[in-house]
Amino acid sequence: MKIYNKKECEVLKEYSKKIFASEGKASLMPLSIQSQSLNERNLNNIIKPEELDADFLSKIIYFQDALLTSRGFLIDGESVIFDSQFVPSDSFDGFISLKNIKSINSNGFDEYDHTRNIIKYTRPIRERLINEPVFVFNSNVGWSNFGHFFHDMLLQVPTYLRARKYIYNLRPAFVNNFSYPIMQKILRALIGDDLYDQRIILGPLQKLKEAYVPRKHFELMLMYVFLPALRQLKKLIEGKITNKYKAIKGKNIILSRKDSKKEEMFGSNFDDVIKILAAIGFEQIQATDLDIEDYMGIFCNIGILIGEHGAGLFNCALSQEAKLIELSIPRIRSYNSVPIFMSHLTDEYIRVDASQIGNTQYKWDFDLIADIVSAFRKNETIL
């Protein structure tokens, strides 16, 4: 992990002053952070250091006397470590160098108020000191949908559980603004009630005597981190959740996205697709309308799951046997990480592109979708 020098930090400070000059909120609080990879530090508080291996060490960054913001960012007078969920990053470990700060404009900060709060303070702040070692989940995104919840947070759960075997009294820290109650239910099930209740909820600034921060687990340049973490998470979900809700017969589901504001992501004839699929045994659901027990009962028992792009398709992680059909708009494919995950979450994943019927409209091929469903039901290979 790189510690950025004072010159680079001044770039950020001057940039923040320019953006927030009218508000008079541009100062950074001074603090000294010492950061190093786990395998570079003194492992005095590790239970069995001889059992540490390169796979585990590659996933963790260690910080001493770190200042933690309410959105899960580490910050001090010489270093600001951004999460790459919001800031473009070409760095190897998923954090951005301050030299790239020019790629962010004021609109970018306005769009993410919690990102703005990384570099501004409105009044003197009293830090809350946390003496116990803390595992800081990369969860500042607020878990706005199941996709973000899965790849920005759940993917790090196996790393946390493994870290607890080495580090005494390691408490989890993460944001507490669950978008949906089911997210809390899933997280509790995976880490256990005792550990969940020991969590540190990110709030006012907190000074962490000892912080362990996972590298961004979903990073294409970090496939050696991503793939083992995904396999471990699948196994954990199966044991802690899926097996408890498993039924004999799988459910065929098409996901509704009626609550989405991104209309440009949907085909113009999606309602017709829903009617046709209903005629061949599919049930349309809006996942956010389900209570927790119904949610678990459905998504732990998926037979075939169909959805438009998306975040909702990550629900297939609760089922070990789901077959997936993603309905995709070609022009936004480059922004979509779904195929990378789905190709590893299930062996049966098909992406169907819509056909363009104008400058901005797209439509689906009914026959093609029906043929894929038929092949899935017959366990036929789809080329």
CA angle 208, 210, 214 (to 5 degrees): 100
- The sign one gets for the Cα dihedral 135, 158, 348, 278 is negative
Residue 1 within a domain: no
In angstroms, the CA 355 to CA 43 distance is: 57
In angstroms, the CA 376 to CA 250 distance is: 12
Residue 165 within a domain: yes
Q: Token pair for residue 310?
A: 């998306």
Residue 270 DSSP SS3: helix
Residues 162 and 268 in one domain: no
Mean pLDDT of 100-118: 35
Residues 318 and 198 in one domain: no
Of 224, 240, 256, the position where a domain reaches its end is 240
Enclosing H/E stretch for 209: strand 206-214
DSSP 236: H
Of 206, 240, 274, the position where a domain reaches its end is 240
Residues 142 and 268 in one domain: no
Q: Does the reported pTM lie above 0.95?
A: no
Residues 101 and 204 in one domain: yes
Residues 188 and 275 in one domain: no
Contact 287, 315 (CB under 8 A): yes
Residues 228 and 292 in one domain: no
Of 240, 272, 298, the position where a domain reaches its end is 240
Residues 37 and 89 in one domain: yes
Mean pLDDT of 266-288: 86
Give the domain extent around 342: 248-377
pLDDT (tens digit per residue) in 307-340: 887 778 888 889 878 898 888 877 665 445 677 7
pLDDT (tens digit per residue) in 215-225: 666 665 556 67
Mean pLDDT (the chain, rounded):
68
In angstroms, the CA 140 to CA 76 distance is: 18
Enclosing H/E stretch for 366: helix 366-377
How many residues are present in the chain? Answer: 383
Strands 60-68 and 34-37: antiparallel
Q: At what angle do helices 157-166 and 223-237 cross, to 10 degrees?
A: 90
| pLDDT above 50 for 49 | no
CATH number at 334 reads 3.40.50
Structural domains counted in the chain: 2
| pLDDT above 50 for 21 | no
